[in-house]
Amino acid sequence: MIKVGIVGGTGYTGVELLRILAVHPEAEVVCITSRSEAGMPVADMYPNLRGHVDLAFSEPDASVLAGCDLVFFATPHGVAMRMVPELMAAGVRVVDLSADFRLKDLDTWADWYGMAHESAEWAGKAVYGLPEVARAAIRDAQLVANPGCYPTAVQLGFLPLLEQGLVNPARLIADAKSGASGAGRQGKIGMLHGEIGESFKAYGASGHRHLPEIRQGLSAAAGKGVGVTFVPHLVPMIRGIEATLYAELVDVADFDRLQSLYEARYENEPFVDVMPFGSHPETRSVRGANHCRMALHRQENSNIVIVSSVIDNLVKGAAGQAVQNMNIMFGLDERLGLSAPALLP
């Protein structure tokens, strides 16, 4: 059994980790930390876990965490980078769901997150944990930076086009929408139901902190710098991301082979589903599941490829992908604990 610790267990990604790990046949959660809720039984905060999780929240204790095989960080940015070096020295493996180790350019990280990075050594060594790209590196990693939710949906949708050099990398557009859980569990007036219900808006249109992460991943896929316009939107639902992606084909004749290209690229990926050409994947089709569903579109004789990509932001966009990474790191079937179908209605 993999002994698992979770740092920062009171947010939405924390409870999603617990929900998934509660039925994982090869993992046991031995500690879950929260400074503010130390001593409270987990099931008192999350009644859906009654009978599944008997732990209480505890203060973070490095000596306890050092006894784990793997620790998940489900914390705000700035926490993991301060704690990870001690765990690395103890031989613990870590999957960080925050943004602390996602970017390789630490000046860029500091610009977007408003503080200096405190663990440059491990930022350089961390493996960016998008399994569909870095499975071999994840397998051997001690520290995995779990991708963000928007970057997961956007990168998976664009990857086949950029890897094959079929589109103009300077003109990529990602028009993305997320449910309210993407903002976390904090009590913010702007996230109250009365504020977001019956409404729809863009935010971060002048720049969002997921943009450099998206640019970094797409540049790696293209083998050169890319120009990407990314605009996120808030929609009045709890879970889900839909990213509508636009790219300009270099040779319009390539349109005829795009469907087979996508199907071949993701044929052996257990959590990517390429739907028939012209389909419209729905966020509800992945709610609670670790899947990315996508479909290709073309309007008349345009040279613009349109890709619709959907994920559950808390699962493939966070906790589910983190467990997928854990499975890879320990040589397990990466589908363990993640095989349940999505929830409908």
Catalytic residue ranges:
149
Say which residue the tokens 């991943």 belong to: 217
Q: Walk across the sheet containing 143-145 and list its strands.
A: 27-33, 2-7, 70-73, 93-96, 143-145, 127-128
Contact 222, 258 (CB under 8 A): no
Contact 340, 271 (CB under 8 A): no
Tell me which DSSP letter residue 276 carries: P
Say which residue the tokens 């999350």 belong to: 46
* CB-based contacts of 210, cutoff 8 Å, min separation 6: 148, 149, 150, 151, 230, 232
Q: What is the tally of helices (H) and strands (E) in the chain? A: 12, 13
Contact 310, 260 (CB under 8 A): no
Torsion from C-alpha of 128, 130, 135, 141, nearest 10 degrees: 30
The one-letter amino acid at 24: H
The beta-carbon contacts of 328-335 under 8 Å, at least 24 apart in sequence, are: 328/131, 328/135, 328/138, 328/139, 329/70, 329/93, 329/95, 329/138, 329/139, 329/141, 329/144, 330/2, 330/26, 330/69, 330/70, 331/139, 332/26, 334/131, 334/270, 335/270, 335/271
